[in-house]
Amino acid sequence: MSDADEYLKRVADMKKQRFSKGYISTPPPPTKPSLPMKKKRNRGDSPSEVRAPVAPKVAEAVPAKSPNAVSLFDKYFPGNTLKEATVEVCHAPPEDFVEKTVARFVQWRERIIALRSGVEDIGRFLRNAGYEEAKGFDRAYIDSLITNENWTEAKEELEQFCSHPPNTRKGTAQCIRHILRRKSAQQAPPMFSIVRWHHFIDHYGPEANRYPSVSTLVWISSSSTTAFFTVFTQRLLRSVTQALVVAKSGAVQSAYTEQDFSNTASDEEKEEGSNGKGWLVAQQPLLEDSISDACKGLLVFLRLLMPSVSVEGDRKSSGLGVWLSAALTGLDFPLDPDTDRLAHELFRSACDHVRVLGEWKKVQGNTRGALLLAFPEVGPENKTYTSMDCISREDVLALYTLIVVLAKCFRQNVNHLIPL
């Protein structure tokens, strides 16, 4: 008998043995039950015999309806749920202030996006018309580029972002000359450069009592906008540390520490961009020893953030707060890791200062906006921030605005801020 015949015979015998009754006749192997057996009910009368509780079924544990959606305000200011990780409910801004601030911030960003897109379209139109940047914005030259054949195309481009678009060829040429003139007068670095942004702050920034313009954001690239936010935030946080040393001891802290933020700047850029020290730090007035360290840090922070004057009254600062707000309107999201870390640090610092204000005023309760009502509506005309009496309602609103705008860029999850 061959191997094949022997194999077929063996298969036939196994089939006859196992399926002789039309189904598997051999008993299945013993297996343990996968779920525990239900415990028998104890029917004894002894009080010591306690019945074991029965675990509820999964279907019964699910709530009948989904929980209420968390509002934007509750997400950013959960109050007692996070204790020291956030501000208390009574220290948080009113809900209507949060909604209005977010609406304004979104409107600002949309306006900047529209302006950037518009000037790019005008630049593309001028390149197609043969514009040479070296010739500038001479009137006769621009008029020669805007002809009877193409002026309607330029007019349609201007209608996308101009508040008062022109209706004639002459008005279209005049509007384009005005745009080119604003571009040539712009001092902000158009491309990413840490050194040039430090130079811009020293000569055209808040310590020169200058304010940001729309052109500051329109003509710079996305990477330069990131450097804009990076350098201003870095200088604010570093200057607070340096000015706090001056406020306590009168000695100006030197140089640049290793922990200072650079955001991919080279070693030469770090050294050159950080040597200049403004008068806000150098002329920081001494603060009384009776003021706590937390209150001293708050006063120094507000002096740098808000418009202020020197003790002698000969110098004025526009404050870094308005510059940070301008940078945030043009910042691209999501942020890179270094800028993200810097924004987190600024957010936590602002929340800490709000908490210090609430503890100083001893504001308690569950009423949102109670901290705001604890301060006078109008403060001194020229603030030096040498005492807590200089703080008024506008300072609290500035901290609230910074918190809400940063919170719009981030969502808060337990003790961590996660970028949207």
Per-residue pLDDT reduced to its tens digit, 315-370: 899 999 999 999 999 888 778 888 888 998 999 999 999 999 999 999 888 888 89
Q: Scanning the structure block, which residue is given the tokens 């009496």?
A: 389
Residue 305 placed within a domain: yes
Residues 93 and 217 in one domain: yes
- Domain range for 353 is 82-108+192-249+284-410
Measured between alpha carbons, how far is residue 138 from residues 134, 154, 217, 280, 331 in Å?
A: 10, 18, 25, 41, 33
Query: Do 380 and 290 share a structural domain?
Result: yes
Buried b (16+ CB within 10 A) or exposed e, 354-386: bbbbbebbebeeeebbbbbebbeeebeeebbbb
The DSSP output letter for 129 is: T
* Longest CA span, the chain: 119
> Tell me, what's the pLDDT at 256?
39
317 and 386 fall within a common domain: yes
> Do 95 and 126 reside in the same domain of the chain?
no
- Whether 203 maps to a domain, the answer reads yes
Give the integer Cα–Cα distance in Å for 263 and 335: 12
* pLDDT for the residue numbered 355: 92
Residue 402 has pLDDT above 90, yes or no: yes
% of the chain residues with pLDDT over 70: 74
**Residue 260 lies inside a defined structural domain of this protein:** no
Give which of 224, 385, 260 is closest to 317, Cα–Cα: 385
pTM listed for this prediction = 0.71
Q: From CA 61, how far away is CA 140, in angstroms rounded?
A: 79
C-beta separation of 230 from 236 below 8 A: no
From residue 247, give the alpha-carbon distance in Å to each of 208, 294, 310, 349. 22, 13, 13, 18
* Tally of domains within the chain: 2
Give the C-alpha separation, 279 to 276, whole Å.
10
Dist. CA 194–CA 266, nearest whole Å: 9
Is residue 236 within 8 Å of residue 304, measured between CB atoms? yes
Mean pLDDT over each residue of the chain, to the nearest integer: 79
Same-domain pairing of 124 and 99: no
Assess whether pLDDT exceeds 70 at residue 289: yes
- Residues making up the chain, counted from first to last: 420
* Same-domain check for residues 122 and 166: yes
CB of 318 closer than 8 Å to CB of 383: no
Which range of 52-56, 83-87, 189-193, 244-248 scores highest in mean pLDDT? It is: 189-193
pLDDT attached to residue 71: 57
pLDDT in the model for residue 65: 54
Per 3-state DSSP, the chain is made up of helix, strand and coil in percentages (nearest 5) of 55, 5, 40
In whole angstroms, give the CA distance from residue 379 to residue 297.
19
- Supply the DSSP symbol for 195: H
What pLDDT is stored for residue 278 in this prediction?
A: 78
Beta-bridge partner residues of 308: 317
Maximum average pLDDT range among 59-68, 194-203, 261-270? 194-203
